[in-house]
Structure 1
């Protein structure tokens, strides 16, 4: 086994939700002024990014990339997760149809961050290795297209993906997600079609997002 093969995959916290219109102003202020930085400061976190849906949903999406899944079992993360600030408690309670997934990041192709994001739910796979291989092949094909920035497969961890306060447990499925980041809308739509065909997924179930802003842990000041 090579040294690269021995390196665990990055982790990623995927949090999506709607919010009532009357609560959006405070919800966005909380996310922008407290929550993003709070999570980015947790040891092992690399970046925190916010997205807003342009098609499908939920409307708001947060992606938090970590060095590995171990970041979600650390004492620092458990402290932050279990002891939320009063502002956090209020806004977590405002989330509608929330979705929280802690995932490994596999089959990563490309680099950087695209302003357009596609999230494509995939059928549950019996063979995880084959799914990763297929996702890598699709990513390689997408990388030949103009506007492609990055693609990766998110595989939820059953134990770590604890639900949010308002998250329904009825019919809750921890399906794998294929994510494509692109530089423009046309490239994003093209990527969706190719990915859906290559991964035998229904494109009607995909959501499209635009990047609102992103914070890297290394940018934080003390």
Structure 2
């Protein structure tokens, strides 16, 4: 059976005094370092439009096995000094390793909504909602992330007391208003909370392979 793609979801805030160095680290070391790991397909950065945490990083993998590989273990346990410095300056971070399902549409739009599904949400209704919006101008794609409790170990400054592992729907669109409107519709239909982000930049494994 084909293994579902995986995704590492990392959202965080950062103090203003540390923001410039944080972005330099992310843009010039961290994303490239992660995408170079065997099994990783892409790394994408987003910035909040209306969200609790200002920065979001999404790393797609060929399967969840990428997070148990020797390459990932080496990268995760042998952080550079720059990485250790910035990981310890994250404010209210959130790390989840997720399986991707309910893939609908293709591509990455300029705007992203993250809808956190509440406990008891009927995930089976997701497919009908996706079908109902597929012809909406500006809609690009959506997919469900289901956190893996074992793989979702916390970041250094992430609270370990309350770490709910709720499924998250990623909704990507080509402009802000479409994203906001469809996210509000999905939130009502699926009983979800909404966070809105805009695309910063993306690096793919294919781009790295071609230098």
Normalising TM by the smaller chain, what interval? over 0.9
User: Which blocks of at least 5 consecutive residues in structure 2 are unaligned?
Assistant: none
Contact 1:142/1:194 (8 A) holds in 2:
no
Contact 1:138/1:194 (8 A) holds in 2:
no
1:128-170 residue CA offsets vs partner (Å, 9 max, x unmatched): xx51x32222222221211001101110000000000000112
Give the alignment's TM-score, normalised by structure 1.
Answer: 0.91
- Match of residue 147 from structure 2: 156
**Cα RMSD between the aligned structures?**
1.3
CA positional deviation for 1:125: 4.1
Contact 2:187/2:194 (8 A) holds in 1:
no
SS in 1 for 2:100: strand
SS in 2 for 1:220: helix
- Match of residue 122 from structure 1: 117
CA positional deviation for 1:124: 2.6
User: Which blocks of at least 5 consecutive residues in structure 1 are unaligned?
Assistant: 1-5
- Match of residue 81 from structure 1: 76
Distance in structure 1 (CA, Å) of the matches to 2:93 and 2:132: 32
* 2:102 counterpart of 1:107: yes
- Match of residue 176 from structure 1: 167
SS in 1 for 2:82: helix
- Match of residue 213 from structure 1: 201
* 2:183 counterpart of 1:199: no
Distance in structure 2 (CA, Å) of the matches to 1:200 and 1:68: 28
Match of residue 70, structure 1, among 65, 70, 83:
65
Q: Matched residue pairs, number?
A: 210
* 2:5 counterpart of 1:10: yes
Distance in structure 2 (CA, Å) of the matches to 1:12 and 1:156: 9
1:153-201 residue CA offsets vs partner (Å, 9 max, x unmatched): 1100000000000001122211111110000011101111221122122
Give the alignment's TM-score, normalised by structure 2.
Answer: 0.96
